[in-house]
Structure 1
Amino acid sequence: MPACCPPLPNRPQRRPRPQRLLCAALALLLSAGSLQAQGLPPSPVRLPALGESASDEFNLNQEKRIGEQVMREIRRDPAYLDDPQLLDYLQSLWAPLVRTARQHGDIDADTERLFPYEAFLVRDRSVNAFALPGGYVGVHLGLIAITSTPDELASVLAHELAHITRRHIARSVAASSRNSTLGLAAMLLGLLVASRAGSPDMAQAAIMGGQAAVLQAQLNFSRDMEREADRNGLATMAGAGFAPAGMSAMFDRLDGASRLNDSGAYPYLRSHPLTVDRIGEARQMVQATAQAGSLPPPPLLHGLMQARARVLMDPGVQALRKLQDFDTRGTMAQLPLSDRLGGLYAGALASAGLRDFDRADRAVRAALDLLAASPQRSDAPARRALAHLAVQLALARGQPAEAGALLAAEGLVDGGRSGLLLQAAWSLADGGEAPLRRSVEALHTWVTGQRDDAAAWQALAQAAGRLGQPLRSVRAEAEAQAALGNLSGAIDRLRAGQLMARRGGVGMDFIEASVIDARLRDLQAQRRQLLADERRAGERPRGGDAPE
């Protein structure tokens, strides 16, 4: 199966302990309220009015650069998950929230220009979500797996978005000492160095030092900031068309979990402590909204994506075997339609991960038949998700003709990212010149507007290489490495492209060669800036990276 569209869960390499500590530390240090979770008094943070500068010491450009540097490392972590179908679903909730925040004036022209407002997935079964500097929000698969409705998940996304739009990280820095920005950068870079060094002791020491710096700099969000994020988040989700009751339902779910023995499975409860005041105020706000009331029945697609998250968050053999049994449980007939479809979907995906394709096919067919026989048989998004899985199974079995027929019949190539990558995977498996050309054109159009989509660049590199377009292929490989944060790898590929262009030959393209020259200068300048930042923060340069 082409790397551009990894359709099926497989056994991942064991996650390095320092990188696990890195993700945990970032969630702890840059999410809200762990000081309050430890019972410490709230810091005296004055909430500025909308439009007031949060901090002269931690301006938008600094926040952007720190966020980009953290994301470069996160994208290299095996826990960073680029699952096109699940990301499409997350984006379908995230995009209207960002659009509404923009309409409400919470996103101004400067932050719109500098911040990407990107939500990404973390392959982790713990219930957590966190905001990072520069407009990034991470969502653990465990959080998706416990939500019953899209409104519950949207409430968490809206809350984290409010932390970004209200610039709570910058406010916390502004409320502390003059050196807090440098301390934040040094702390984050120390964690990144520890993760690259592969030393658990070094990572642990960095985290311990980071926690001390946080206590000194009062980096954690105050209770006032948590309530502000609740208020802003509720207004944003209501304006985006989500049911406000989703926020109180999510609070109830997390409050119930907090009464149990956590055992580390709910880090969100520690970084976002649910005080009685917060819960009560949130319920009052929900009741005051015009859309107050019970939650609508969840769409079938949410149940399927919940099942997908459950399978992908732990793709070990034992976990997959347990989930595989969902398609044969005798109690399935007594469950609601959404749960039955989710069980069949989880069983099919788990069977595919175990390479039991016959059983996976049976589960998908059973789910499609169940949907066709139900009153909700017109649920197009659910049918498309099932058909998408059927295409992935056909490609995994080495049957591109069947996959192509399903793609055409179900209309899965609709301009969305998952359909685009699925089409690319099929064209590479089919090998025909016409499908490859269509994929190259569609992918080129896509990456023109989505420069940081590493999977799309990699798919473009493979398809262009098959078509005898070596310069375009090499440049796409370089862009894929740049999107993943590997600037040295990207520069090496661009230099290889320059050498290839000088030698000439079949498939050489003067325009592509000019683009390679310009892009090489750009990435070299980025790397020089990164090395300068690291030196100022007292970090040793990365191995193998030297100034140009």
Structure 2
Amino acid sequence: MRTARGSSATTPPRKPLTAPIWPRFSVLSLLQAARPAVIAIAVMIRHDGLRVGNLSALVGSTSDEREHGTHNLLRRIITLTAIFLVALPSTVFAQGRSFIRDTEIEETLHLYATPIFKAAGLDPRGVTVYIVSDPSLNAFVAGGQKLFINTGLLLKAQTPEQVMGVMAHETGHIAGGHLSRIHDQLRNASAISILSTIVGVAAGVAAGRADVGTAAVLGGQNVAERNFLAYSRTQESSADQAGVNFLTDAGISSRGLMEFMETLEGQELLSTARQDPYLRSHPLTTERVEFLENYTANSPLRDAKVDPVLYERHDRMRAKLYAFTNHIQHTLRTYPETDTSISGRYARAIAYYRDSQLDPAMKLIDELIAEEPENPYFEELKGQVLLEFGKAKEATDPLRKAVELSNGAPLIRLLLAHALIESGDSSVLPEAKENLLGVLSVERSNASAWRFRAIIENRLGNEGEASLSQAEYSLLTGDREAAKYHAVQADRKLEKGTATWQRAQDIIRATDPEGKDNRN
């Protein structure tokens, strides 16, 4: 996590994630004005050296601070168990927006989306779904084949079909080329830049100043954001038609999309400020609702159900999100002790963990593992909890099993590497490095993987590789000066002509385009 929520020069994230390189927008003066709002902030604390001490250093709390309750406060604020919150600039934080990454949730959404993307003639690997940490009900497409879904929508949706319906509608916008406003300019931008720009532009308009990075988010932001994302009514009807066709071709009922639109229908007479963002950017008409109702009523798939496994996965996804985004008291009211379902116990385990109640959390996690010994996510949660409570060595076994059961999921491998580093056992550093290399082979822009690799290479005595890894990390987190410094160090230490040496040259050129660096 980054600055403004749990991370600063003294409080890094516990499970940091990729921070993309910030693109430069030159196509519109409006984007230039918004640029201060999209400057990257370091994902983790920047240390003078490469050595990161024990877990308390990583979570930004010393033993003295823990004695005064700081550690418990941080634990309640920072969500874990493969839920990675990627924080955005201050204007985005004013909106409470950040990205969530979680292997289990991402896999669930992938299962929802794949048949729809295929029906639309899209390569599922070419469309990326991003989870936005925002309680409001919203989903939107930006930057080409990038689909953003708010946690509020996932929590509100009672069935997988409702989420699938929204996905199908948004896929209709992708397939129809309904690029709103400046989407063409954002097509090649990173997801985090897109989200920053959307909120940053709105904040800049609202504040009436170019310094949107520090602008207050005023009431006028809703208007700016709505205009940025808005589709015409014709485009909305077209996306509805395409969406129901995609659902039908995929063998999925359109009832979910109909139900979702019906939940929004009652908001049309509300003031804009009281409407869900989805309705503000996706104009709803009586004709649209009637079309969906008629189509569903006459469809042979109107009462069709998806695979029962998806209903269970949906319930677990909602339980997980709810427990990680709400206070323990709210979670225990929503998922009381009388709820003995796996989802209910899952939510309570997370709630107890976030409230620093290790024993009841571990009791529930062990129960879940006993019932589903092949479930990688329960093992992952156990490892994360143990790591968080300073039991890094104990965390490695469940995390190794989670990696095995998940077929090497990158985010879980990253967590295992973290635990191996924190274990203090130098003999496992090669294993940690192997896992990080596996992560980077799939997610090369994962800043945390580079940070951990820098630590490992330094401990193994590979100074050139350590400097290069630190340069990669700094570049990804937007610190061009640090990236240049470490790349120069790597240039001096690596064997000339090698691929790693060449990469150091690339970073130097990228951070020093005018060639001012003097290495002689």
TM score, norm. by length of structure 1: 0.64
Structure 1 residue 93, shift from structure 2 partner: 4.0
Q: How does 1:282-361 map to 2 (within 5 A)?
A: 282-287=292-297, 289=299, 291-296=301-306, 297=308, 298-314=310-326, 319-324=327-332, 328-330=336-338, 332=339, 340-361=341-362
The more displaced of 302-311 and 288-297 is 288-297
Structure 1 residue 144, shift from structure 2 partner: 1.1
Query: Of 279, 284, 287, which residue of structure 2 is paired with 1:274?
Result: 284
Residue in 2 that maps onto 1:391: 383
Residue in 2 that maps onto 1:135: 145
Q: How does 1:366-445 map to 2 (within 5 A)?
A: 366-368=367-369, 372=371, 383-409=375-401, 411-433=404-426, 435-445=428-438
Structure 1 residue 515, shift from structure 2 partner: 0.8
Structure 1 residue 168, shift from structure 2 partner: 1.4
Letter in 2 for 1:498: V
Structure 1 residue 225, shift from structure 2 partner: 0.6
Letter in 2 for 1:199: A
Structure 1 residue 258, shift from structure 2 partner: 7.0
Post-superposition CA distance 1:297-344 (Å, at most 9, x none)? 443222121112113334xxxx233314566534x25xxxxxx32222
Post-superposition CA distance 1:96-134 (Å, at most 9, x none)? 167516xx44679xxx9xxx6432222221212222234
Q: Provide closer, same or farther for how the CA distance between residues 13 and 420 of structure 1 changes in structure 2, counting only shifts above 3 A.
A: closer
Asked whether the equivalents of residues 127 and 268 of structure 1 are also in contact (C-alpha less than 8 Å), the reply is yes
Letter in 1 for 2:377: A
Asked whether the equivalents of residues 447 and 473 of structure 2 are also in contact (C-alpha less than 8 Å), the reply is yes
Asked whether the equivalents of residues 122 and 138 of structure 1 are also in contact (C-alpha less than 8 Å), the reply is yes
Post-superposition CA distance 1:240-292 (Å, at most 9, x none)? 56544332233344446779999747322333243221122123334555543
CA distance, structure 1, for counterparts of residue 109 and residue 432 of structure 2: 23
Residue in 1 that maps onto 2:485: 495
CA distance, structure 2, for counterparts of residue 350 and residue 186 of structure 1: 33
Residue in 2 that maps onto 1:533: none
Letter in 2 for 1:461: A
Asked whether the equivalents of residues 122 and 140 of structure 1 are also in contact (C-alpha less than 8 Å), the reply is yes
CA distance, structure 2, for counterparts of residue 328 and residue 342 of structure 1: 11
Residue in 2 that maps onto 1:88: 106
- Which structure's residues are more often helix, by fraction? 1
CA distance, structure 2, for counterparts of residue 173 and residue 455 of structure 1: 29
Asked whether the equivalents of residues 162 and 232 of structure 1 are also in contact (C-alpha less than 8 Å), the reply is yes
Asked whether the equivalents of residues 379 and 401 of structure 2 are also in contact (C-alpha less than 8 Å), the reply is no
Residue in 2 that maps onto 1:513: 501
CA distance, structure 2, for counterparts of residue 173 and residue 361 of structure 1: 46
Partner SS for 1:169: coil
Q: Provide closer, same or farther for how the CA distance between residues 386 and 267 of structure 1 changes in structure 2, counting only shifts above 3 A.
A: same
CA distance, structure 1, for counterparts of residue 116 and residue 455 of structure 2: 33
Letter in 2 for 1:512: T
User: Are 2:210 and 1:198 aligned?
Assistant: no
Q: Provide closer, same or farther for how the CA distance between residues 161 and 354 of structure 1 changes in structure 2, counting only shifts above 3 A.
A: same
Structure 1 residue 198, shift from structure 2 partner: 1.5
Structure 1 residue 508, shift from structure 2 partner: 10
CA distance, structure 2, for counterparts of residue 469 and residue 100 of structure 1: 45
Q: Provide closer, same or farther for how the CA distance between residues 81 and 280 of structure 1 changes in structure 2, counting only shifts above 3 A.
A: same
Q: Provide closer, same or farther for how the CA distance between residues 513 and 494 of structure 1 changes in structure 2, counting only shifts above 3 A.
A: farther
Asked whether the equivalents of residues 131 and 137 of structure 1 are also in contact (C-alpha less than 8 Å), the reply is yes
Q: Provide closer, same or farther for how the CA distance between residues 428 and 231 of structure 1 changes in structure 2, counting only shifts above 3 A.
A: farther
Q: How does 1:105-254 map to 2 (within 5 A)?
A: 105=121, 117-169=127-179, 190=204, 196-200=212-216, 203-204=217-218, 207=221, 210=224, 214=227, 220-239=230-249, 242-254=252-264
Partner SS for 2:329: helix
Q: Provide closer, same or farther for how the CA distance between residues 134 and 469 of structure 1 changes in structure 2, counting only shifts above 3 A.
A: farther
CA distance, structure 1, for counterparts of residue 27 and residue 247 of structure 2: 29
Report % sequence identity.
20
Residue in 2 that maps onto 1:542: none
CA distance, structure 1, for counterparts of residue 438 and residue 379 of structure 2: 25
CA distance, structure 2, for counterparts of residue 462 and residue 196 of structure 1: 35
Structure 1 residue 221, shift from structure 2 partner: 1.2
CA distance, structure 2, for counterparts of residue 185 and residue 308 of structure 1: 27
Of structures 1 and 2, the one with the larger relative CO (CA 8 A, separation 6+) is 1
CA distance, structure 1, for counterparts of residue 262 and residue 360 of structure 2: 38
Asked whether the equivalents of residues 324 and 351 of structure 1 are also in contact (C-alpha less than 8 Å), the reply is no
Structure 1 residue 226, shift from structure 2 partner: 0.7
Partner SS for 1:304: helix
CA distance, structure 2, for counterparts of residue 303 and residue 137 of structure 1: 22
Q: Provide closer, same or farther for how the CA distance between residues 352 and 161 of structure 1 changes in structure 2, counting only shifts above 3 A.
A: same
Asked whether the equivalents of residues 361 and 390 of structure 1 are also in contact (C-alpha less than 8 Å), the reply is yes
CA distance, structure 1, for counterparts of residue 475 and residue 299 of structure 2: 45
Number of residue pairs matched by the alignment: 426
Partner SS for 1:168: coil
Structure 1 residue 295, shift from structure 2 partner: 3.1
CA distance, structure 1, for counterparts of residue 156 and residue 344 of structure 2: 14
Query: Of 443, 451, 465, which residue of structure 2 is paired with 1:450?
Result: 443
Q: Provide closer, same or farther for how the CA distance between residues 249 and 396 of structure 1 changes in structure 2, counting only shifts above 3 A.
A: same
Letter in 2 for 1:131: V
CA distance, structure 2, for counterparts of residue 274 and residue 343 of structure 1: 35
Partner SS for 1:81: strand
CA distance, structure 1, for counterparts of residue 363 and residue 238 of structure 2: 49
Asked whether the equivalents of residues 154 and 318 of structure 2 are also in contact (C-alpha less than 8 Å), the reply is yes
Q: Provide structure 1 residue ranges, at least 5 long, that are not aligned to the other structure.
A: 16-60, 175-183, 334-339, 529-548
Q: Provide structure 2 residue ranges, at least 5 long, that are not aligned to the other structure.
A: 9-25, 41-85, 185-197, 516-520
Structure 1 residue 483, shift from structure 2 partner: 3.8
Partner SS for 1:307: helix
CA distance, structure 2, for counterparts of residue 185 and residue 362 of structure 1: 42
